[in-house]
Structure 1
Amino acid sequence: MKHRPRWLQGLENPIFVRLYLAQTINLVGDSLTWVGLALLAFELAGEQAGTVLAGALTLRVMAFVVLSPIAGAIADRVDRKRLMIATHLARMGIVCLLPFVTQVWQIYAIVLSLNVFSAFFTPTYTATIPLVTKEKERSQAIALSSATYQLLGILGPGLAGSIAAFIGTRQIFFLDGITFLVASISIFRLPGELMVDRDRKTTQTVSRTLQDIRTGTSCLFLDPPIRYALALQLIAAIAGAEILVNTVGYVRGTLSLDKLEYGWVMAAFGMGATVASVGLGNIQKISPVLLTSIGAFLITVALLPANLVNLSGLLLLWAIAGVGQTLVNVPTQTAIADRVAVEVQGRVYGAHFAWSHLWWGFSYPLAGCMVSHFPNQNFFYSSLIGLALLAIVYLAFKPRNLDDLEDGLWHEHHHRHDEQHMHIHSPNTIIQDSHSHLHFHSITQATRSSQAS
């Protein structure tokens, strides 16, 4: 029997294959959406199209920050299969409204609606990968998902632009709707339910949801390796926002090059990220703490000489930055999968998705501020800010000690307070009140293997 390359071994799991296919189709649809929106914005706003798209991106980030923790809480309590299908079908209906848009405010309203449902789908999908894969497949599945995201980030816009040129700007949104329908069918074909605990279906009240949000966020900040990785994602977001916001000005303005060269530079960034994702799927187990540290250093240092280089230099630097971006993001997802029990992962991934996008919400304005005040040294000073933060994080977290922490899992412990089960709590705790606590329990390799299976 012919064996797949290590980074493709997750595809030996038929349930993951269908889930991965749905994600891939979803990413193609996203490319169609954003290329179509850019063309539609130009059609309605002309030279102000950039302002329209900036507003749309801000709405996207805010939807993720506000709603992703709620999505994570719900994903741990309901059938994730139904939740993902519902988000796809809702987005299919919403995106099919775009051909009929005649005013800019309608773009904002539809983009906000689309990303409300995206905020529910993405963390649910991410949390479902560890649910449907075994431990030996998990890192490869996460890396493959990341590589596909990066690769379609490179190829998708070009493909979408070609389709738009062939069928028309407004018609592309109907094709986009079809991708959501096909993706929902792929998820529908998954066997059974995707419940983390089929025996525990609780009513999702407001107080229950708020408690679940606190649980997800608490787990992020209580676990030292995950907390360290989240801090490094802020540093990576500062550098990443600088690249996404200000590369076009440097290539088209400072270097006096054309759109084609700008496309090459951004493709280099995406290609570096893709190669790193494939590499992570091929290598044996390496400390996420080490990988995220290397990644944050690479993406930050890549900016340092960027204001002084020509096109060739920028291609190399942005490829290195892409590698750094992946080395921060993918091991962070793997660390959550390795250190958080399955029944809590939806809440933790939802909280992580919100906090990581909050970093980007802070970093985008910073990138704009840097280019406004230091137009010829914006990359250099952004790199210095990142390096200073990296030094502070390194001294505060002492990452060399994080790998020595005990191996284990955060999990939720449910119980009732009665005469047979007493703990020391606040005086307001009601006897016989059913509630839960977040605990970290050490876990042996045998226990982990049993849970993974």
Structure 2
Amino acid sequence: MLAVLRNTVYAKLFGAQVIALLGTGLLTIALGLLAFDIAGGDAGLVMGMAMTIKMVAYVAVAPVISALLSHVPRKPLLITSDIVRATVALCLPFVTEAWQIYVLIFLLQAASATFTPAFQALIPSVLPDERQYTRALSLSRLAYDLESLLSPMLAAALLTVISYHNLFAGTVVGFIGSAVLVSLTRFPVIEPPNTSGFFDRLTRGARAFWALPELRGLLALNLVVATTTAMVIVNTVVLVKADLARSQADVAILLAANGAGSMIVALSMPKLLDRLPDRRVMLWGAAALPMALLAAAVVLKWGTGPAQWYGLIGIWLVIGMATSTILTPSSRLLQRNSDDQSRPAIFAAQFSLSHACFLVTYPLAGTLGALIGLPATALVLVVIGILGMALAFATWRTRTSQPTPPVEATSTASPRKQ
């Protein structure tokens, strides 16, 4: 899998991704501490609002920015996004009111909603060979999972010698480092898309998801992933601390099990996809996620003692594995159903539509968890997950995963560099 890093263009872009991810991880931890300083016992409300603003920015901004800036070259777009993110992170230590956090978080996440889809849409042009691209996807998935494990450890180590305000400096360094690496990279020459009206550009990605069966199925799988991810992200702390009365270390253990499952699959995915169609692999994951969540409801309701705890660790591991079987190959579908000109709009649509699913399931998981308890909440999410799985199976009723012509495809990009 590491052989893909022999491509120097991709190696620099991957380095930019890793550095920015570490900066983002430090930002998340520092932001929570800042919220506690400002709001005290209401810090949870501040963070909840900040995360909601993040999702709203992801859903609303990505397709709009993609449409507005469709003719802007990728390199200056990515560099500017990183500079905006670094500037916002530089301002956060001076915040004194909750509303200031909300404004800055919106600006930061709007810049991320600009950077991430454009970055993801660029990689297929850098690695046109599908085998290499698959290995790059696995490496990217691994980077996300490692960041979720390493950032808290790095932050904990840094907080023993510095104030949490200085963690924002690490975030700034991460985004500036990403911008520098992007600036040093020779991008493929990609012809700008054909001139069209703003509304046409705004809706191009969403129309592709509606028109192309592979992408309709992927949209349904986004909903399946959102159900279990919401249970893990929103309710793991409540489950461990309140329902099981265990320690903070056990919260980390349960989340680490989820991340470990994802990493196991990410490492094995290239060889698996060399032998099996990606849609079949993704549907396996779609079937496994509601079953795992149903098992969690059973263990939470009737499990006791060590068997309950170890059962949950195993279930969180399986959820991580099944989630990765969907997320890791998903960009292959986007790549296959697009060309260099339509790809930014399609990747932006995936970014927006997938986060729209989270915008539904995150508050649902939190609200229902408080009102009806975690076992019943898991069952509600199971029903939603089964609905998404059924839609994906119905959409992908053919046995093979054949490429579908991209919507409004245009000429292939020249291999020349700039």
Between the aligned partners of 1:222 and 1:276, the Cα distance in structure 2 is 30
1:234-383 correspondence runs (5 A): 234-283=223-272, 284-306=274-296, 307=300, 308-309=302-303, 310-378=308-376, 380-383=378-381
Equivalent pair of 1:78/1:201 in contact (CA under 8 Å): no
Quick one: which amino acid aligns to residue 298 of structure 1? A
Quick one: which amino acid aligns to residue 142 of structure 1? L
Query: TM-score by structure 1 length?
Result: 0.84
Between the aligned partners of 1:71 and 1:13, the Cα distance in structure 2 is 29
Equivalent pair of 1:212/1:347 in contact (CA under 8 Å): yes
Equivalent pair of 2:58/2:352 in contact (CA under 8 Å): yes
Q: Which residue of 2 aligns with 1:97?
A: 91
Shift of 1:72: 3.1
Q: Which residue of 1 aligns with 2:391?
A: 393
Shift of 1:108: 1.1
Shift of 1:39: 0.8
Equivalent pair of 1:344/1:411 in contact (CA under 8 Å): yes
Between the aligned partners of 1:74 and 1:195, the Cα distance in structure 2 is 20
Shift of 1:235: 1.4
Between the aligned partners of 1:315 and 1:390, the Cα distance in structure 2 is 25
Shift of 1:305: 2.4
Equivalent pair of 1:36/1:172 in contact (CA under 8 Å): yes
Q: For each residue in 1:277-303, what CA deviation from the matched residue of structure 2 results, as whole angstroms up to 9, or x when unmatched?
A: 121133315322112211122222111
Q: Which residue of 1 aligns with 2:177?
A: 182
Between the aligned partners of 1:259 and 1:106, the Cα distance in structure 2 is 30
Between the aligned partners of 2:2 and 2:373, the Cα distance in structure 1 is 43
Number of residue-to-residue matches in the alignment = 407
Q: Determine if the alignment matches structure 1 residue 403 to structure 2 residue 397.
A: no
Q: Which residue of 2 aligns with 1:427?
A: none
RMSD between superposed Cα atoms in Å: 2.5
Quick one: which amino acid aligns to residue 317 of structure 1? I
Q: Which residue of 1 aligns with 2:65?
A: 71
Equivalent pair of 2:19/2:175 in contact (CA under 8 Å): yes
Structure of greater Rg: 1
The structure richer in helix per residue is: 2
Gaps of 5+ in 1: 1-6, 415-440, 442-446
Q: Determine if the alignment matches structure 1 residue 158 to structure 2 residue 156.
A: no
Query: Bigger CA drift: 327-336 or 299-308?
Result: 299-308
Shift of 1:403: 2.1
Match of 1:305, SS state, is: helix
- Return the structure number with greater relative CO, CA threshold 8 A, min gap 6: 2
CA gap of 1:12–1:134, structure 2 versus 1, over 3 A, is farther
CA gap of 1:333–1:409, structure 2 versus 1, over 3 A, is same
Q: For each residue in 1:338-394, what CA deviation from the matched residue of structure 2 results, as whole angstroms up to 9, or x when unmatched?
A: 221122111100011000000000011211233133215235413531454146415
Q: Which residue of 1 aligns with 2:209?
A: 220
Shift of 1:75: 6.0
CA gap of 1:117–1:394, structure 2 versus 1, over 3 A, is closer
Quick one: which amino acid aligns to residue 363 of structure 1? T
Shift of 1:215: 1.4
Between the aligned partners of 1:378 and 1:33, the Cα distance in structure 2 is 33
Q: Determine if the alignment matches structure 1 residue 146 to structure 2 residue 141.
A: yes
Q: Which residue of 2 aligns with 1:35?
A: 29
CA gap of 1:186–1:15, structure 2 versus 1, over 3 A, is same
